[in-house]
Amino acid sequence: MINSNLAIIIILISSFIVAISQCILKSSANRKHKSIIGEYINFRVIFGYGLFMLSLFLNVIAYQGIPYKLGPIIASTSYIFIMILSRVILKEKITKRKVLGNILILTGIIIFAN
């Protein structure tokens, strides 16, 4: 059993790793590939899914220290991380709609956490 504060930190790190993985997978999807197989079996895809596996492992550890209903709430911060990283890494625009969506996510987190 781990401390609940440590578990929350682990889930936040896991959410950040998921965001990085999403950006890596999207960057692979945006590239031209020589074959259909090359679209699905390349370094970026394998690395991206490897990061997803790492995230899964971290979540299994973290759930030992928090109630099960709290995990998905904390993990939803990955949407915020994805928006920020897609701007920084992929140079995507942050639209009003994306900001509004993230505000709604944060509002839901705050309401549910209290």
- 16-43 per-position pLDDT tens digit: 999 999 999 999 999 898 898 988 899 9
Is 22 within 8 Å of 83 (Cβ atoms)? no
Question: What is the predicted pLDDT for the residue at 74?
Answer: 87
Residues 98, 60, 3, 80, Cα dihedral to 10°: -10
Which residue stretches of the chain have pLDDT < 70?
Answer: 114
Question: What is the predicted pLDDT for the residue at 69?
Answer: 85
Question: What is the predicted pLDDT for the residue at 105?
Answer: 85
